[in-house]
Structure 1
């Protein structure tokens, strides 16, 4: 095949729908035109990476963006839903009860995965439940189309292009055809939702059938998740967090910033939520007040941050840890979650814009209240003599919009 033939214009490539590409729109929109331009450049990059030209020609022909992916990327529940709402749903008793049953059914296999990786079986089952409802919901998105949409959109271009290249390598290797590579809108695949690059490097064949089948084999999916967590630094024999209580005059501005020994946290007045001494089984921990000073408080250990290698959202890691505790039969939270009022996207963006205008760096105001936004809010609260817990409530939004913001 001549290079000129392969490097067809993206507009011509849009003429024939690919697998999973769906129906075409009539005139090209501005987004479609941007996608076509990106695809033309990506073809060159993919060919230069060593991928076979015939694979690229077949899999990229007629590729179109997926509007469902664009919508989901801007409304992720880990970032848009109130913290307690997300955690109560993700780590509820119904899900925990199913997890206990599935853990009992797979006890021998989970024991092997736990022994090999050091990751407790209840944590593996919790991730299984969080990611796919224990294999019930694997997603129906064509991974190539999803990753192409995210790459062309630009917000996470580098990541998405890397994952698209990894997906094409899976196909080129012959391990799995494109029809099998379905997953979430974000391109995560199988019962424990592996991104393509992690599948290539970390997926395991635990059931011994000669295939790494994270879609059809719970054993392969769970062993692969264990391998990912172990490779990411899971600390054997340690927990992931401890619920704590703070004194009335506590300075919450140290939340998410100070990593300190149990002795330091004790000196600052922290104790177990049930009133006992900390007795923390870790050399260092970080404080998290996810719903502010009035909600549950946690000292996060290293394994919490390993969970975030699976999904880098505080809500996800906290819900996963709490679900694992519930599956294992550990006591629930001492302090209940407060009643939270959902904030609109406009409220969240306006709060970030107000902080930015006041000289506190939040990055680009996008409505995602992440670590940078919480740190900025804590600094702003402290400068005004407020409880500096970094919690964005409706009252805090109103204060930020006020004349003194």
Structure 2
């Protein structure tokens, strides 16, 4: 009897001390909270009503966020698909077509024009695929979902700021399921930090103005440390049994080309590395059996744009094929 009573008392005490999980608010309640916070941040009240009018929880955006495909292709398989001959031909044609703007913008920001075209091609297929999601709705959905609430909540308010500053109308603010916008696929926070007026019309229109797309991309790369005196890197061959501790992009793994040469690293054709005083890093995005690259600071800049070796290498290979064919 006594043991049973003690057990009951202990159970009751545990139940009383157990944390009570707050019930998740409804989506409508969450939106109301965003409106309230937006007003406190100085967003126009009428615009807040318009931006959130009729939005709903978009399950498709959540599924896309949670079910992004794992890497299934090696670089030997991926690069030919990401940089097919038709895309190279189109990139070279557009490079020639927009050369005057590209040259002017490239000189202003210190970025080679071929990389601006390559970014445009990889991010949105030269503006053909920019997404048709309501940006505020997609971002609000992902913030409410909670997996990365702080990140997406910040992006909601960045999007509202863009609208509040009059860069684009609510109905025209379309983008990807993740809220990436325009032909250069900037997140709203990146737009606020790096969007630029490339045609001097007083606007920053990454949806419709190609000069603005080029200037915004160039401004991002400039702020990410781009140096137009150099390229991005090159594919290389390695000696057998190279020390795996040398591989990676961390600062302590960078070496001069002369140092890599002394370690036995060579060009893909087994020729000597360039006689250039530049820091380089050795990467093997697949594994020791896959492709090896020596990459420079400009590659590090591309990785700040998108932390994916496959993205950075697609841009780099397309830029090279624009130049070399």
> Structure 2 length as normaliser, TM-score?
0.84
Alignment coverage as a number of residue pairs: 299
Aligned 1:88-103 pairs, distance under 5 A: 88-103=80-95
Verify the 8 A CA contact 1:213 1:220 in the aligned structure 2: yes
* Partners of 1:68 and 1:80 in 2: CA distance: 21
Aligned equivalent of 1:197: 189
Give deviations 1:67-105, integer Å, cap 9, x for gaps: 22112223435x534242443322222211110010011
Residue 201 of structure 1 and its aligned partner are, at CA, apart by: 3.1
Higher helix fraction (1 or 2)? 2
Provide Cα deviations, 1:188-219, integer angstroms capped at 9, x if missing partner: 11111122122223222222333222111212
**Which of 170, 175, 193 does residue 162 from structure 2 map onto?**
170
Match of 1:373 in 2: none
Task: For 2:98 and 2:44, locate their aligned partners in 1 and report how far apart those are by CA, in whole Å.
Answer: 40
Residues 107-146 of structure 1: per-residue CA shift (max 9 Å, x gap): 1111111111121111000011011111111210111011
**How far apart are residue 40 of structure 1 and its match?**
4.3
| 1:316 partnered with 2:311 | yes
Query: Post-superposition shift, 1:50?
Result: 2.3
Equivalent-residue separation in structure 1 for 2:40 and 2:71 (angstroms): 39
| Root-mean-square deviation over aligned CA pairs | 2.2
Change (3 A) 1:137 1:293: same
State the alpha-carbon separation in 2 of the partners of residues 273 and 284 from structure 1. Answer: 19
SS state of the match for residue 304, structure 2? coil
Q: TM-score normalized by structure 1?
A: 0.69
Separation in structure 1 between the aligned mates of residue 265 and residue 305 of structure 2, nearest angstrom: 29
Q: What is the SS of the residue equivalent to 2:324?
A: coil
Q: Distance in 2 between matches of 1:280 and 1:80?
A: 35
In the alignment, which of 294, 297, 300 is matched to residue 292 of structure 2?
Answer: 297
Q: What residue in structure 2 maps to residue 80 of structure 1?
A: 71
Query: 2:262 aligned with 1:271, yes or no?
Result: no
Checking the alignment, whether the CA contact within 8 Å between 1:83 and 1:315 is kept in structure 2 is no
Q: Which residue of 2 aligns with 1:394?
A: none
**Residues 204 and 212, structure 1, Cα contact 8 Å, conserved in 2:** yes
Q: Give 1:229 deviation, angstroms.
A: 0.9
Matched, 1:259 2:254: yes
- The Cα shift of 1:262 comes to 2.0
Instruction: Give the Å deviation of 1:36.
Output: 4.4
Worse-matched range after superposition: 298-307 or 211-220? 211-220
Alpha-carbon separation, structure 2, partners of 1:162 and 1:226: 24
Are the aligned partners of 1:140 and 1:184 in contact in 2 as well (CA < 8 Å)? yes
The equivalent position to 1:224 in structure 2, one of 216, 219, 230, is 216
Say which one has the larger Rg.
Answer: 2
After superposition, the Cα gap between the structure-2 partners of 1:42 and 1:251, relative to the gap in structure 1 and judged at 3 Å, is: same
Within the alignment, does 1:120 sit opposite 2:107 as a pair?
A: no
Residue 298 of structure 1: SS of its match in structure 2? strand
For residues 80 and 227 of structure 1, the distance between their equivalents in structure 2, rounded to whole angstroms, comes to 30
Partner of 1:214: 206
Report the Cα distance in structure 2 between the residues aligned to 1:157 and 1:267, rounded to whole angstroms: 48
Deviation string 1:153-195 (CA, Å, 9 cap, x unpaired) is 2232222112111111122222311111101111111111122
Instruction: Tell me the alpha carbon deviations over residues 327-381 of structure 1, each in whole angstroms, 9 at most, x when there is no partner.
Output: 1116xxxxxxxxxxxxxxxxxxxxxxxxxxxxxxxxxxxxxxxxxxxxxxxxxxx
- Residue 245 of structure 1 and its aligned partner are, at CA, apart by 0.8
Structure ranking higher on relative contact order (CA contacts 8 Å, 6+ apart):
2
Match of 2:6 in 1: none
Unaligned runs of 5+ in 1: 1-30, 331-405
Q: 1:71 and 2:63 equivalent?
A: yes
